[in-house]
């Protein structure tokens, strides 16, 4: 039995490990332990605003210290593997707020290629890839691009944010998005301006619907 267990651990090294705290237990599912799960508030809600270009934006979690810290660790401190538990959380929201048959393409709000080179990965691209694979929906990669190196949105006021993000995105092959219903992934919604700007570019390509999905929202309402 022991040998078999070791063999199984070799095949599935992540099985039974909480990706948030590193706890090992047989009861862990979706890469999160009971204790870390109890520190997360699942909302699975739509942002209660009308946007000009995005048809609807949904998000998964309350913006708690625990979540803020772990998104920070995910993006800036080498915890890239958190895309898996975050991906599972997003799938849960996706199935509650959307229907797989209503989405043709999953893509992400991209970071600039220089930032990606420095970080080693694009956090939203990993999330989009994970969900698209699990939901069996086409994943568009490297077609919606960030062509402008923008400043971090959270240090700017509303008007500066708009100017900062204006013209930040471009599409290489427009025909890929024509007539399609697209879901864009991002880690966090701060104001919705980034989603709006990406959706605007996709609608210019003829996209029929553009939806947003994020892990959490820092928006006040």
Considering the complex, what minimum distance in angstroms separates the CB of residue 216 from Zn ion? Answer: 18
Among the listed residues 11, 12, 13, 33, the one whose alpha carbon sits nearest the alpha carbon of residue 22: 33
Considering the complex, what minimum distance in angstroms separates the CB of residue 76 from Zn ion? Answer: 20
Does residue 36 interact with Zn ion by CB under 5 A? yes
Identify which of residues 70 and 203 has a Cβ nearer to Zn ion in the complex. 70
Identify which of residues 23 and 204 has a Cβ nearer to Zn ion in the complex. 23
Of the candidate spans 17-25, 85-93, 95-103, 175-183, the one that interacts with Zn ion by CB under 5 A turns out to be 17-25
Does residue 88 interact with Zn ion by CB under 5 A? no
Task: Count CA within 13 A, CB hemisphere, residue 28.
Answer: 19
Locate the DSSP E strands across 88-173.
Answer: 105-108, 138-139, 144-146, 169-171
> How would you classify residue 91: left for phi > 0, otherwise alpha for psi between -120 and 50, otherwise beta?
alpha
Q: Which of 33, 57, 128, 207 binds Zn ion (CB under 5 A)?
A: 33
Considering the complex, what minimum distance in angstroms separates the CB of residue 33 from Zn ion? Answer: 3
Task: Count CA within 13 A, CB hemisphere, residue 92.
Answer: 15
Of the candidate spans 26-34, 45-53, 83-91, 185-193, the one that interacts with Zn ion by CB under 5 A turns out to be 26-34
- What tokens were used for 164? 């900062």
Whole-angstrom distance, CA of residue 220 vs CA of residue 145:
28
Does residue 40 interact with Zn ion by CB under 5 A? no
Considering the complex, what minimum distance in angstroms separates the CB of residue 94 from Zn ion? Answer: 23
Residues 6+ apart with CB under 8 A from 42: 60, 61, 89, 92
Identify which of residues 24 and 49 has a Cβ nearer to Zn ion in the complex. 24
**Continuous segment of H or E residues that includes residue 193:** helix 193-204
Of the candidate spans 16-24, 84-92, 161-169, 192-200, the one that interacts with Zn ion by CB under 5 A turns out to be 16-24
Identify which of residues 67 and 103 has a Cβ nearer to Zn ion in the complex. 67
Total residues contacting Zn ion by CB under 5 A comes to 6
By CB under 5 A, what part of segment 125-184 binds Zn ion?
none
Inter-residue contact 24 to 9 (CB < 8 Å): no
Does residue 19 interact with Zn ion by CB under 5 A? no
Q: Which of 20, 31, 130, 177 binds Zn ion (CB under 5 A)?
A: 20
Inter-residue contact 96 to 219 (CB < 8 Å): no
- Chain residues binding Zn ion by CB under 5 A are 18, 20-21, 23, 33, 36
């Amino acid at each position: 039995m022991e040998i078999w267990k070791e063999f199984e651990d070799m095949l599935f090294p992540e099985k039974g490990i909480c990706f948030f705290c590193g706890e090992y237990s047989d009861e862990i599912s979706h890469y999160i332990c009971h204790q870390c799960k109890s520190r997360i508030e699942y909302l699975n809600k739509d942002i209660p605003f009308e946007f000009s270009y995005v048809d609807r934006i949904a998000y998964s979690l309350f913006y708690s210290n625990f979540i803020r810290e772990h998104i920070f660790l995910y993006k800036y401190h080498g915890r890239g593997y958190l895309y898996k538990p975050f991906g599972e959380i997003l799938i849960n929201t996706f199935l509650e707020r959307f229907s797989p048959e209503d989405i043709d393409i999953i893509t992400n709000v991209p970071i600039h290629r220089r930032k990606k080179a420095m970080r080693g990965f694009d956090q939203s691209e990993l999330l989009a890839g994970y969900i698209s694979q699990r939901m069996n929906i086409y994943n568009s990669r490297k077609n919606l691009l960030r062509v402008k190196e923008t400043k971090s949105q959270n240090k700017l006021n509303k008007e500066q944010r708009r100017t900062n993000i204006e013209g930040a995105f471009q599409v290489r092959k427009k025909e890929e998005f024509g007539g399609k219903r697209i879901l864009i992934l991002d880690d966090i919604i701060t104001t919705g301006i980034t989603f709006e700007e990406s959706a605007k570019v996709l609608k210019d390509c003829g996209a029929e619907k553009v939806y947003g999905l994020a892990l959490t929202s820092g928006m006040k309402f």
